[in-house]
Structure 1
């Protein structure tokens, strides 16, 4: 049927903007705390399209910290960490996640964590594991690729902290990977209860330059 005056077409709604963590993050130590605790703060507009900021110390085993994002996009959270530790931060809204950012703990503005071989070593910063029924198991594959001018020596591939429901199968490290030859790391997820699970996998590289890569593993146990 032909469209007459007043006939309109409903526009397709645009998907909501993805969460993003932008701007500077500053650190200040808690003088009244017994353990080394740093307060991390992002000013107005630091967390966009997000309702929470998640942070974890890559050099420790303490649980992650989560802070609500203010109406102006600011946040403040406390995390067990010492000077020089690396922390990973991420803005989140529901199940949507920003690109994680890694920073070096300090008083004042936190600088980006150094990542030598960024131009030739390719590792995804996150690995999403399938929703898995409680008591069952699923497997995810992390692919490590490099086009560096020399073989890549990986000294260790291990979880930041123990996590019984996440298992790195047959960890191949230490291993030397030739340029152009990908390495696949298998991760098994076997949830014991419903709900979200996550932990960070760390890859420690010694050659052709000393560097680290962090990969957030996350999945959900379902009934």
Structure 2
């Protein structure tokens, strides 16, 4: 069963964003979250997993360019689309969503094709769909559990940005989870034992203030 896509809609006008979100949900099987505050959007990107991000037309012009750039940087590999005036319900006319939906589907198709390729983590090749990490230097194949793979994939999507522990627990174990942080720490420990040359001095899976960060471009030495 295919899960509905998750769309983050960022619009300067809260009511307009909600109205546009309802229109999107009517035309496409998707879950749309609307936000208008820049700080809230950046926090959502750190915690949530979105398939595509849609920026209101006002955020893509010269006045909104600084915020739009920050959102694109924080989005990592997630496709970011800017609404055209004809697609924005805030322009005074009914939004023309046919073109927007086509662009969303196209962006998702390109993103899925890209994610099917191995992801680089240091010298490793990470294959999320197969739940494997390949070491091309030694020929070693590292098998991951479902949770280990989800953690690694989530951190990779975040790029070089630290992800808070609470966000990882909520996104990977569920929104209503009551698990303690030691549950996550145990999985991080196991991942380090599998990937790091010296788990006590990690080069890839780093502990940051309040969370973890994946050092994707690390020039780590192969694990023996």
TM-score, normalised via structure 1 length: 0.29
Higher helix share: 2
Higher strand share: 1
Decide which structure has the larger Cα Rg and report it.
Answer: 1
